[in-house]
A and B are shown apart, each in its own frame.
Chain A
Amino acid sequence: MSKRKSKDDSLSIGECISLVQKILRERICCQKSNGKPFGVEMQQKHLLELLKRTVVHGESNSVLIIGPRGFGKTMLLNSVLTELLGMKHIKGNVLIVQLNGLLQTDDRIALKEITRQLNLENVIGERVFGSFAENLAFLLEALKKGDRNSSRSVLFILDEFDLFAHHKNQTLLYNLFDISQSAQTPIAVVGLTCRLDVLELLEKRVKSRFSHRQIHLLTSCDFKQYVIMFQQQLLLPEDFPDKSFAEEWNQNIRFLSRDASVEEILKKHFFLSKDFRSLHLLLMRVLCRVTVSNKTIKPADLIEASHLCTMDSKANILHGLSVLELCLIIAMKHLNDVYDGEPFNFQMVYNEFQKFVQRKAHSVYNYEKPVVIKAFEHLHQLELVKPMDGPSVRIQKEYQLVKLLLDNSQIMEALQRYPQCPTDVKQWAASAFA
């Protein structure tokens, strides 16, 4: 027994790494936060107080949590809910209905979903209801009867709230807010959205029934906090079985966040965006590089991961084009320069290319027109050029007006990186007037 225990204390290196991967991946991929959400104590207190009032005192409330994507709206709500459900007297007293604007795309589906989540399917059975509101009222009535002593409160959580505002007549929202204003069943409507102008989407009658309580998650975190956040995401928890490994790992992480090159990379990402999600994207790539033979995270890993994160995808696509397709892009660039961004058709591009072939280059590039058309169509497929009018307009493909979706600097950079780019093509691209 004692032998086993000592073994548990120090796992083999493979098991350690596997465990590290497990813990950190759960943290990064499914947003299982470690500890409390960061820098939102005020908002958390506000929300908790509000929901508690609904559950304990039977007060109906409505609130909107607004914040950009990846700023921890769901995380905040989840931590509040776990705290709430952990309290005494509350657990059996509250029902939670979670709806998502992506899934419940119209009110019928949403109503069915509410019925299902409240476990009322057997009650409703085959009954046909007159109106939507009647149906909803019945649902809540049934809730009241379910518990004889006192009616249970219901928390409605509407994720992607702005999508619900696009439903026809906003019936669901109207009824939910209406019940929160008038009926006796205590409900709380919590909406999560990333649109700042969400109130403008609501109809007047819906808006007037909404309590106008808003919780904004526009974090004002500075770079120092960002580094702490970075650290917090990577640190191993206290209850890691192999103490010495965890110690070593955490030591390394603390050391890492003081490294100058790491700081530079974090700064770059901080300036791009401050949200959790983009940090997670970076960390996921870093984590991928942790293996048995590469036990700790080194600054080089971060540099590599950051490089992968910030790759220009269009440059990548340009890199894989054939020489003929590249020539066509250069011809389009010249047309853009000469005619100041006017749309052009294949015939003009071909004409430009022909001029290059006849005057400047040797005759190797002298391809037949159908071959060039095929190359042009490939560019079309890759969506590097965009047709100006819709597909319904029927015209020969040579004369269809298109626009180039690339920037001049992108083209020139791609030319620099292109493997074995012919010199005359390079010169042609550089010369301002073809």
Chain B
Amino acid sequence: MPDQTPFPTYMKDVLLRLKKQLPCRDNEVSMLLSLFGEPQHYSYPSILIYGHRATGKTFVTQTVLQELKLPHAFVSMVECFTPRLLFQQILSQLSSLYPSLDEEFHCETLNDFIRIFRQLSTSNVLDQQTVYIVIDQAEVLRDMDANLLPGFLRLQELVGGNITVIFLTEIVWEKFRPNTGCLEPILFYFPDYTKAELQQILCKDRHPEFSDDLYATYINILLGVFYAVCRDLCELRHLAALNFSKFCEPLLKGEVRESDTHKLWRSIEPHLRKAMQTVYLREVSSLQWEMMQDTKEETGYLKGLSAYTHVDLPYYSKFLLIAAYLASFNPARTDKRFFLKHHGKMKKVTFLKKHEKTSNHLLGPKPFPLDRLLAIFYSIVDSRVASTANIFSQISSLVTLQLLTLVGHSDQLDSPKYKCTVSMDFICAIARTVNFDIVRYLYDFL
């Protein structure tokens, strides 16, 4: 299929240029061109292109439309968060194709949009060619007014002109369909790149100072580490660009020759593994990572974002938080055993026979009432604490810090329920600062 030029009206050199610009996407380009047809022919009212992130949906569509000089408007739904912005952007992009028509459009509703569009398409050259409206991140359209998505799907019929709307999205079409149905678009899948294709594309931006083969080796090693976790082309390109200087370091020093792939692999592989834990997760910013490489510091020496979890809290707040954690992760029936001085004998059996599923650290925090929090708080704090307004305001300020959350917003004053939303590590660090052995009080670790 790719060797046939689908339509004689398109210049051969344009098609060749497209092929060069869009590697590994020949099939999709020719499918897209055959769907578009000749400029003056009708195309299908709506096309939905779906596929994974970074599979070239936007890039291919935009390049094809630009290279063939087809009249089109390109909008991203993330930018246009109200219908009005969406309409105005489409109209102003289309009218800018024809400079004679230059005015501010005021349209609030789909009705106005269609009316202005009709005027535009009858008074212009627009009606001789298919006009394309490309809507990127089309999944946002579902959450806007209910008439927008069906309206755009049958825009051709509503306007009565030669219009095709192209939706680009990551989500499958089944999740778009409104419950009273709509005009079905032509579905078009952009397949993910295979490993070989990824390699081919990544090798394109090689470093001019080094040979092709060396860069190909480097990409091969990089894919070997990251391919099982990440197939996002953008992410991989970014990682490739970041770590290449480290890869060439032994070469520049003259320790290793280019042909000695094994030694190069040995030097870069641990470095890449470290990158997965830091740069890939955005723990360390790319700039910091590059600086670390330049100064030859031990990578990973810098503390990442997640290392800054330590929060300084007042003394009673700490105890309140600990009490909340205990109340969240311990069942209420064990309170007597943990916090009462003269509790009776516990049956050993209940503690030994614990199913995994019942472990609270697997299921997450349970909600607890305020009274229980206070009871545990008073029993773990040694000194006598008066229940002043301060204590209660500290509880509500813990809620605003999102260390606690209020569950069920029904009752603010009378017996509110809370959940503790901090991690195990965090609470252990806090308990250590007040010399409280929290693990001894946790039911799961008994």
The stretch of A23-31, A83-91, A130-138, A244-252 that contacts the partner chain: A23-31
- Cβ contact of B184, chosen from A278, A319, A345, cutoff 8 A: A278
Q: Which of A22, A103, A365 has the most CB of B within 10 A?
A: A103
Q: How many inter-chain contacts with C-beta < 8 Å in the A-B complex? A: 169
Report the nearest A residue to B175, measured CB to CB.
A383
For chain B, which range describes its interface: under 10, 10 to 19, 20 to 34, or 35 or more residues?
Answer: 35 or more
User: CA separation between A105 and B147, bound complex, in Å?
Assistant: 8
B2 at the interface (CB under 8 A from A): no
- The docked-state distance in angstroms from the alpha carbon of A221 to that of B155 is 29
Q: Is B52 interfacial (CB-CB < 8 Å)?
A: yes
Contact assessment for B37 and A25 in the assembled complex, using a CB-CB cutoff below 8 Å: yes
- Which chain A residues (4-32) contact chain B, with CB distance < 8 Å? 14, 18, 21-22, 25-26, 28-31
B interface secondary structure, majority:
loop
B121 at the interface (CB under 8 A from A): no
Tell yes or no: B369 within 8 A of A by CB: no
Which of A45-53, A58-66, A255-263, A395-403 contacts its partner?
A395-403
Q: Is the CB of A285 within 8 A of B8?
A: no
Cross-chain contact of B276 among A288, A348, A351, A371 (Cβ < 8 A): A371
Residue of A nearest to B278 (CB): A370
Contact B364 A347 (CB under 8 A): yes
Known: A30-B156, A103-B151, A313-B174. Is A320-B51 also a contact (CB below 8 A)? yes
Q: Which residues of A contact B385 (CB under 8 A)?
A: none
CA distance A69 to B156 in the complex (A): 17
Contact (Cβ within 8 A) A324 B110: no
Contact call B38/A419, Cβ cutoff below 8 A: no
For residue B87, CB closer than 8 A to chain A, the reply is no
Interface hub of A195, A294, A371, A420 (most chain B Cβ within 10 A): A371
**Given A102-B158, A103-B114: A194 touches B180 (CB 8 Å cut-off):** yes
Instruction: Determine whether the beta carbon of B191 is less than 8 Å from that of A109.
Output: no
Chain A interface bracket (under 10, 10 to 19, 20 to 34, 35 or more):
35 or more
Q: Which residues of B contact A22 (CB under 8 A)?
A: 38, 40-42
Contact at A103–B364, with CB atoms within 8 Å? no
The contact string, 1 if C-beta is below 8 Å from chain A, for chain B 30-64, is: 01001101101111110000111001000000000
Least CB distance, A191 to chain B, in whole angstroms: 15
CB distance from A215 to the nearest CB of B (A): 19
Within 8 Å CB of A419, what residues of B? 194
> Do A322 and B231 have beta carbons less than 8 Å apart?
yes
CA distance A30 to B173 in the complex (A): 22
A364: chain B residues at CB < 8 Å are 228
A195-B180, A288-B31, A294-B4 given; A322·B227 CB < 8 A:
yes
18 additional contacts, CB 8 Å, given A314-B174, A399-B363?
A: A14-B8, A18-B9, A22-B38, A69-B183, A102-B110, A103-B147, A103-B151, A105-B145, A116-B115, A289-B34, A313-B174, A320-B192, A348-B362, A368-B277, A371-B276, A374-B281, A375-B229, A398-B364
Which residue numbers of B lie inside 8 Å of A, CB to CB? 4, 6-9, 31, 34-35, 37-38, 40-45, 50-52, 55, 109-111, 114-115, 145, 147, 150-151, 154, 156-158, 170-175, 180-184, 186-187, 189, 191-192, 194-195, 227-231, 276-277, 280-281, 283, 306, 356-357, 361-365, 402, 405, 419, 421, 423
19 residue pairs from A and B, CB less than 8 Å apart: A18-B9, A22-B38, A22-B41, A22-B42, A31-B157, A69-B181, A103-B158, A109-B111, A281-B186, A294-B4, A319-B192, A322-B228, A322-B229, A324-B229, A347-B361, A370-B281, A395-B419, A399-B363, A399-B364
Pairs of residues from A and B, 4 with the lowest C-beta to C-beta distance, nearest first: A399-B364, A320-B192, A288-B34, A313-B172
